[in-house]
Amino acid sequence: MLMRLSVPKNREGSGSVMSMYWKTLLVVVLTAASASALRAQPVSPANLAGVGYDSHIELKWTASTSPNIIAYNIYRSASPDGPFALLRQVGASTPYALDFIGRIDTVFSYRVTALNSSGQESAPTSVQTATVAAMSDDDLMTMVQRYTFRYFWEHSHPVSGLARERLNSGDIVTTGGSGFGISAIPVAVERGFITRQEGLLRMIQIVSFLELRAQRYHGAFAHWLNGNTGATIPFSQFDNGGDLVETAFLMQGLLTVRSYFNQDVPLENSLRSTITRLWEDVEWDWYRRNDSNVLYWHWSPNYQWQMNFQLRGFNETMITYILGVASPTHGIPASLYHSGWASNGGFVTPAAYFGYPMYVGGFRGGPLFFAHYSYLGFDPRNKRDAYCNYFNRNRNHTLINREYCIANPKNHAGYGPDSWGLTASDNPWGYLAHEPVFDRDNGTIAPTAALSSMPYTPAQSMAALKHFYRNLGDRLWGYYGFTDAYNIGQNWFASSYLAIDQGPIIGMIENHRTGLLWDLFMANPEMQPALDSIGFIAEQSAVAPDLALPAEVLVYPNPNNGQFTLLMEATESFTAQIQLMDAMGRQVRNWGATHIQNGESSLTLDTHELPAGVYQLWLSSGGRQHTQRILVFHN
């Protein structure tokens, strides 16, 4: 049956009336079609995949093609045949989910549906099954590197390819953090996270942006750039020009990559040539500020040297002097390393904390990023300058940081032998360079501190990795790996990721595993002559200590009122040094070398003359150690 439409007539303006009629009819038809589409069941997501790890399962899928999708529902079952229960819901822009289960060596099955704004749910995807199973230490490190690398690969700025300052920082990209991410590209290629061609193309994108669009100030880059335009984004009022330290971190990464992409093919040749031009354009000598005997951090065309920040150690700036001396075009004399960085030896210290000599640097070493940023490329092993062996120094710095967290003089919740690491990070109140001093210890631990110290303290850092992942992972582990920090006392776990904290995790874990970045950076022909001119000589580095003595050690009573007894069960006979440290890391008792026999034994120690308070017991033997908190009170 056909329906005839009656169209009104208008002798004077029939064309106008006809046009309005058909427009109205079209709107009605389109509105009806749109409403029908909203009422229709959405198209299912596709390609659901699941990968099982040590304590979690990761799910990914292809987004639904239907309009107005607002969420995805994830269903889980202990059997592929069901029944399936709703596990959680994620937003429409999140086509993935992490199911943190814990180490229970089991299999789970999943389905995912799409949900539109009318409340219509799609049919489920096909069932995907994945297994949670124990992983080796090597596998765990690879997992951490893989997840952490995603921050630089998937969250990088789409125009420049550089690293965003932090999650959700939009167009703000960071120079130094990008240097750390650039260093991670050879790691990602060697580990199979990306192909060599993918890494090469990303590097071409980055260096092209740096050379052609990014603002420079006598060859140095600003701390922050606009990832679209390359324009400087001021870091602070007067910090709106060249940042020599951030530039050094960037150059460290670029020179590492220049050494890696060494094939004689057009794209790799072009990449190396561009990196060389960027490297040779940096006017390290300009940042001497009128030929003074020290380098300066900042220069601005508007404010000149108003920041007035001299680079004197010990801190994160060592690599700046090494690169300045190494520069083939705008080099600084090697004497500046000594007069500036080392303050003519003024940064040398005789101090020791918790039995570990500091060699150079401030009180208890400072935040742990001091031991990471300059050493992603520069290899501190088996060499020393006039002041110390920096591998040994950084190793002791890390151990002091850990021992302080074990002693825990401020009684923060969550500190311990496997939960340690004070460095710059977010915290519940903002951001702070946390370190082992009272006014900079607020209970916040950052995973990057322990993980990036892996070359110095492999056993202790690996134990921390397992604690962060297996015990705290349901709150601390995300799509880009460990989030920035946590504070157990405040029941706070960061949702943030920062480029300067993520990057060192990848590179320093790899330096522990293979020495890859150290080998690449040090292979640059400018490096060894620079170190020779500074006065570096060969010296064997210490071996990082094992985690534990070959004995179970119990303390009774603890707290004690003047004496306590060590109850020991050893698996072999050994001689141990027994010491007691106060909460500041100073030795207050030394019972000297004591023979511990195989099997069960006991030893009573006196504390009558000590003031009441918190102490730390140390048993050490051949690089192995046992530490334990001791509480002393007096009636």
Q: Which pLDDT tens digit goes with each residue over 548-562?
A: 788 888 898 999 998
**All residues at 6 or more sequence positions from 8 whose CB lies less than 8 Å from its CB, including other chains:** 17, 21
| Residue type (1 letter), 449 | A
In this model, does residue 28 exceed pLDDT 80?
no
C-alpha separations of 431 from 238, 318, 426, 442 in Å: 20, 24, 4, 11
Residue 62 pairs in a beta bridge with: 46
Q: Rg of the Cα trace of the chain?
A: 30
In this model, does residue 288 exceed pLDDT 70?
yes
C-alpha separations of 393 from 372, 457, 624 in Å: 12, 12, 18
* Spatial distance between the Cα atoms of 141 and 143, rounded to a whole number of angstroms: 5
Average pLDDT over residues 39-55: 94
Average pLDDT over residues 607-623: 86
Count CA atoms within 13 Å of residue 431 on its CB side: 8
Q: What is the pLDDT of residue 77?
A: 97
Distance, C-alpha 62 to centroid of its chain: 29
Least confident residue range of 33-47, 114-128, 178-192, 423-437: 33-47
In this model, does residue 211 exceed pLDDT 80?
yes
Average pLDDT over residues 355-366: 93
Compute the C-alpha angle 346/349/354, nearest 5°. 160
Q: The tokens of 54 are what?
A: 């040590």
* Spatial distance between the Cα atoms of 544 and 537, rounded to a whole number of angstroms: 21
Q: What is the pLDDT of residue 202?
A: 98
Query: Which of 364, 460, 554, 469 is closest to 100 using CA atoms?
Result: 469
* Spatial distance between the Cα atoms of 498 and 504, rounded to a whole number of angstroms: 11
Q: The tokens of 561 are what?
A: 């009122």
The CA-based dihedral angle spanning residues 252, 253, 259, 265, taken in that order and rounded to the nearest 10 degrees: -140
Asked if residue 244 lies in contact with residue 341, where contact means CB atoms within 8 angstroms, the answer is no
Query: 197 pLDDT band (50/70/90 cuts)?
Result: very high
Q: What is the mean pLDDT of the chain?
A: 92
Average pLDDT over residues 485-498: 98
Compute the C-alpha angle 401/403/407, nearest 5°. 120
Q: What is the pLDDT of residue 8?
A: 44
* Spatial distance between the Cα atoms of 335 and 634, rounded to a whole number of angstroms: 56
C-alpha separations of 634 from 137, 562, 613, 631 in Å: 45, 7, 10, 10
Query: Which of 531, 534, 615, 607 is closest to 580 using CA atoms?
Result: 615
Residue 60 pairs in a beta bridge with: 49, 96
More confident of the two residues 245 and 635: 245
**All residues at 6 or more sequence positions from 261 whose CB lies less than 8 Å from its CB, including other chains:** 199, 200, 203, 268, 271, 272
Please write down the long-range contacts of 226-229, taking CB distance under 8 Å and 24 or more positions apart: 226/171, 226/172, 226/173, 227/157, 227/158, 227/159, 227/160, 227/162, 227/164, 227/171, 227/172, 227/173, 228/157, 228/159, 228/160, 228/171
Q: What is the pLDDT of residue 547?
A: 59
Query: 531 pLDDT band (50/70/90 cuts)?
Result: very high
Q: What is the pLDDT of residue 32?
A: 47
Residue 481 pairs in a beta bridge with: 478
Q: Tens digit of pLDDT for each residue in 72-102?
A: 999 999 999 999 999 999 999 999 999 999 9
Query: 260 pLDDT band (50/70/90 cuts)?
Result: very high
Query: 583 pLDDT band (50/70/90 cuts)?
Result: confident
Count CA atoms within 13 Å of residue 45 on its CB side: 31
Find the helix or strand (DSSP H, E) in which 635 lies. none
* Spatial distance between the Cα atoms of 143 and 509, rounded to a whole number of angstroms: 11
Give pTM, 2 decimals. 0.88
In this model, does residue 37 exceed pLDDT 90?
no
What b-and-e string marks burial along 592-603, b requiring 16 or more CB atoms within 10 Å of the CB? eebebeeeebee
Q: Tens digit of pLDDT for each residue in 595-610?
A: 999 999 999 999 988 9
Tell me how long the chain is.
Answer: 635
In this model, does residue 4 exceed pLDDT 60?
no
The pLDDT > 90 percentage for the chain reads 82
